[in-house]
């Protein structure tokens, strides 16, 4: 079975944890590929582009940010992903360093499921011309370019005006991203394979403006009445839009494929991890 291993070098700077996990994979008859020369050693193969279609899954050591960065890098290949958490929350990670070994037999014998999670596509138009396009696996945040200043937003759903409001910004989250900024702003937690997404105002001027959950067939159009606004995609990609630019968000034509195991109490794992993270230093 072929596995692509990826580590967060900042959280494992000497690569000792990475090499320990890779050695354990090799001892369990996995064929291990890496895309970074830094933790390449005997019996490990350096990934070539032609190898990617034959990879069975990717094992990612790090936190949610590491998983999202990997998903964005390999977005054209739909690789199933499995995370070993080195972060604080690890809402996207199924495994911990303390327990990953017990899952190796299940992985080797393909005793797992693949959650096909919804992702979002965004397109930005200025004067009816497409100027940006992007894919979001987690969330899209729109806020004022000037910090500590409210932004005025118009939101249309399926070409019909939904609302106009003042807020610090707005979060549009996938099911995977619903446990992040959207949740901390008062939004609901969406179960991972739910075929919908959620829009949550961030600190709205009037608290009557609450989260709205949309079906995956819905599209929303957001425009800013402020001079400049910042769009942040998955906490990684940033760019500026101007007043009256239109941001159209809809379901993307690809999934975030996450490996899951058939275990009890896993249904609300994301919210449990977020809640318990307050006790971690």
- 125 close to 242: Cβ distance less than 8 angstroms: no
- 229 close to 151: Cβ distance less than 8 angstroms: yes
Our answer to whether residue 245 is catalytic in this structure is no
In the set 27, 35, 56, 64, the catalytic residue is 64
Q: How far apart are CA 154 and CA 221, in angstroms?
A: 8
Enter the DSSP assignment of 50: G
Which among 134, 148, 149 is positioned nearest to 235, based on CA atoms? 134
Which among 82, 91, 72, 75 is positioned nearest to 110, based on CA atoms? 82
Q: How far apart are CA 118 and CA 251, in angstroms?
A: 7
The pairing of strands 228-233 and 237-242 is: antiparallel
Q: How far apart are CA 118 and CA 196, in angstroms?
A: 7
Catalytic residues: 64
């Amino acid at each position: 079975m072929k596995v692509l291993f990826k580590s967060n070098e900042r959280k494992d700077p000497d690569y000792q944890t990475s090499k320990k996990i890779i050695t354990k994979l090799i001892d369990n008859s996995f064929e291990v590929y890496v895309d970074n020369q830094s933790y390449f050693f005997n019996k490990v193969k350096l990934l070539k582009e032609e190898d990617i279609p034959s990879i069975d899954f990717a094992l990612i050591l790090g936190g949610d940010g590491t998983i999202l960065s990997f998903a964005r890098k390999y977005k054209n290949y739909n690789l199933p992903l499995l995370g070993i958490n080195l972060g604080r929350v690890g809402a996207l990670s199924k495994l911990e360093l303390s327990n990953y070994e017990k899952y190796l037999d299940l992985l080797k014998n393909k005793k797992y499921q693949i959650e096909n999670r919804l992702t979002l596509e965004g397109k930005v138009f200025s004067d009816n011309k497409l100027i940006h396009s992007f894919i979001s696996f987690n969330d899209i945040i729109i806020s004022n370019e000037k910090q500590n200043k409210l932004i005025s937003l118009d939101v249309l759903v399926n070409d019909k005006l939904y609302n106009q409001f003042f807020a610090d910004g707005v979060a549009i989250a996938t099911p995977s991203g619903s446990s992040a900024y959207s949740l901390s702003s008062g939004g609901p937690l969406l179960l991972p394979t739910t075929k919908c997404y959620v829009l949550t105002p961030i600190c709205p001027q009037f608290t009557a403006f609450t989260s709205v959950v949309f079906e995956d067939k819905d599209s929303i159009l957001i425009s800013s009445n402020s001079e400049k606004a910042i769009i942040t995609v998955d906490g990684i990609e940033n760019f500026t839009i101007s007043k009256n630019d239109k941001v159209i968000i809809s379901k993307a034509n690809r999934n975030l494929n996450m490996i899951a195991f058939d275990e009890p109490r896993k249904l609300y794992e994301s919210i449990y991890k977020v809640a318990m993270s307050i006790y971690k230093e």
